[in-house]
Homo-oligomer: A and B are copies of this chain.
Amino acid sequence: MRQLPSAPPSRTSRRPARRLPPDEIRAAIVEATIRIIGRGGTAAVTHRAVAEEAGVSLSSTTYHFASKAEIVDAALRQVAANEIARVEATTTAALEHVHDIDSLVDLLTAWLDDQLADEWLVVRAGYELQLEAERSPELEAAHAEWGTKVQELSAHALERAGSPRPREDAHILAALIDGLRLEEITHPRPGVAERNRPLLDRLLRALVAQS
């Protein structure tokens, strides 16, 4: 995700920085964890696996995080933040071009297709972590905020597309996309856009037409 430039830390630029700043180590560990969860589920998360994936030593994982649960917590938060940022970016960048149903269908189809193409592991990890979130109250908050944010932005988009009841429809749309995405994740096949565009088209057209 965040690709910090590998420039030297502060003033002296002679040698390649042997020691990375702690924030980057933390970020590397968290992102490695997300990839591992995406590939093998939360069961595959071990300190050793994370350390190897992140390219750090075993001690780093225990030094920067008090326990394994804390690593998983951080991973969920990162995925949620990531998803919010993505939705927000898509929205603010493209929402002004949404003025009817077709343009919204285009936007959603492209969003779904892109996400499944180049963030497959992250999406997968997101579902694993959602299920995990229910078991820990503090994660529940992050998860709930994620959902709320997505629905707000969906409602905004639906309003621009002409929905008569944007908030209710946002709930429907968000749940539908979640269900479709889960299906694509658990049963991966080519042709994501072709398969889902007609469904989104039909749903949005029906909702907007309905009083």
Contact with B along A164-186 (1 / 0, CB 8 A): 01001101101111111011011
The B-contacting residues of A in range 100-158, CB under 8 angstroms, are 124, 127-128, 130-135, 140, 143-144, 147
For the complex, give the distance between the alpha carbons of A124 and B206 in Å: 31
Contact with B along A181-211 (1 / 0, CB 8 A): 0110111100000000011001101110110
How many copies of this protein are present in the complex?
Answer: 2
- A183 close to B42 (CB less than 8 A): no
Which one, B42, B187, B206, contacts A140 given CB within 8 A? B187
Residues of chain A at the chain B interface (Cβ within 8 Å): 40-43, 124, 127-128, 130-135, 140, 143-144, 147, 165, 168-169, 171-172, 174-180, 182-183, 185-188, 198-199, 202-203, 205-207, 209-210
A-B contact pairs, 13 of them (CB 8 A): A127-B131, A128-B131, A131-B186, A134-B187, A168-B199, A171-B199, A172-B203, A175-B179, A176-B176, A178-B183, A179-B179, A179-B180, A210-B210
